[in-house]
Amino acid sequence: MSGGNAIRGTRVGAGPMGESERGESAPRRRVSYWCANGHESRPSFAAEAELPESWDCPRCGLPAGQDQEKPPAVPRTEPYKSHLAYVKERRSESDGEAILTEALEKLRARREL
Ligand SMILES: [Zn+2]
């Protein structure tokens, strides 16, 4: 038997779909999910499987829900945090520079003595 790797290579993303590919004709159903951007994705599930409340949109990665009118809210990734961290980083960097310059000046002063 070969080809297992090829199949694995073409599988995109989230896991629970690979399970039922055993050649048995397990009954499946397709369920539509919509994300906040209006993308529809229609993953299929085994008939007896419990439907996940949300599904990651394969196009934009946002969580998608079964209610087209009310897609799940876009999770807020707070840009301020990373910005603040960036600013902090820069500040401590320039602090470090100041300390370094000071030290160098002291060194020079000492040499001049
Ligand atoms: Zn989407």
DSSP string, 26-44: --EEE--EEETT--EE--E
In this structure, is the dihedral angle defined by the CA atoms of residues 62, 54, 32 and 46, taken in order, positive or negative?
positive
**What is the overall mean pLDDT for the chain?**
78
Choice among 55-59, 62-66, 80-84 with the minimum mean pLDDT: 80-84
Question: Are the CB atoms for 35 and 73 separated by under 8 Å?
Answer: no
Distance 39 CA to ligand 1 centre (A): 4
Parallel/antiparallel/unpaired status of strands 63-65 and 33-35: antiparallel
Distance 91 CA to ligand 1 centre (A): 38
Q: Kindly state the DSSP code that residue 62 receives in the 8-state scheme.
A: -
Distance 25 CA to ligand 1 centre (A): 30
- Which amino acid is located at 79 in the chain? P
pTM, whole model, 2 decimals? 0.46
Q: What does the alpha-carbon distance between residue 52 and residue 16 come to, in Å, rounded to a whole number?
A: 10
Distance 67 CA to ligand 1 centre (A): 14
Distance 27 CA to ligand 1 centre (A): 27
Distance 97 CA to ligand 1 centre (A): 45
**Average pLDDT, stretch 18-43?**
83
